[in-house]
């Protein structure tokens, strides 16, 4: 689990264009802590894991490598917009299923 967490954290941080120092500052941590996470030397506390999941808009399960899905932040959307997003996701899933031979 530590290997998956380390890889996921580094990938998410890089995708967002953050340095270890920038991520550490956002989370009120030292850069050395982020480095230890990414080098498989340390696992985060529950509090830090929650902060990371919010920062990257992914589930804690995804961060830990025990879930394969990302989450979608629907904060600020009204009910109609949420429904449209759900329909779009369902259509993509149907399309992927029918296009995979």
pTM of the complete model: 0.68
Residues 53 and 89 in one domain: no
Residues 49 and 21 in one domain: yes
Tokens read off for 8: 């996921």
Averaged pLDDT for residues 91-99: 83
What CATH number is associated with residue 48?
Answer: 1.10.260.40
Residues 60 and 88 in one domain: no
Tokens read off for 3: 């290997």
Do residues 53 and 60 lie in contact, with contact meaning Cβ atoms separated by under 8 Å? yes
List helix spans (H) across the chain: 2-15, 20-27, 31-38, 46-56, 60-64, 79-99
Structural domains of the chain, count: 2
Residues 36 and 77 in one domain: no
- What is the torsional sign of CA 79, 82, 84, 90? negative
Portion of the chain with pLDDT greater than 90, in percent: 58
Residues 47 and 95 in one domain: no
Tokens read off for 53: 């999941």
Structural domain boundaries enclosing 23? 2-64
Tokens read off for 94: 């149907």
What is the pLDDT confidence band of residue 4, given thresholds at 50, 70 and 90? very high
Residues 33 and 12 in one domain: yes
Residues 11 and 58 in one domain: yes
25-60 pLDDT tens trace: 999 999 999 999 999 999 999 999 999 999 998 888
């Amino acid at each position: 689990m530590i290997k998956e967490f380390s890889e996921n954290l580094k990938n998410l941080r890089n995708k967002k264009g953050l340095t270890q120092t920038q991520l550490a500052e956002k989370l009120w941590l030292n850069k050395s802590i982020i480095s230890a996470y990414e080098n498989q030397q340390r696992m985060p506390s529950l509090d830090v894991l929650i902060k990371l999941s919010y920062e990257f808009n992914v589930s804690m399960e995804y961060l830990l490598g025990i879930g394969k899905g990302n989450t979608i932040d629907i904060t600020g959307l009204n009910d109609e917009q949420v429904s449209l997003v759900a329909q779009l996701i369902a259509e993509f899933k149907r399309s992927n299923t029918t296009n995979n031979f």
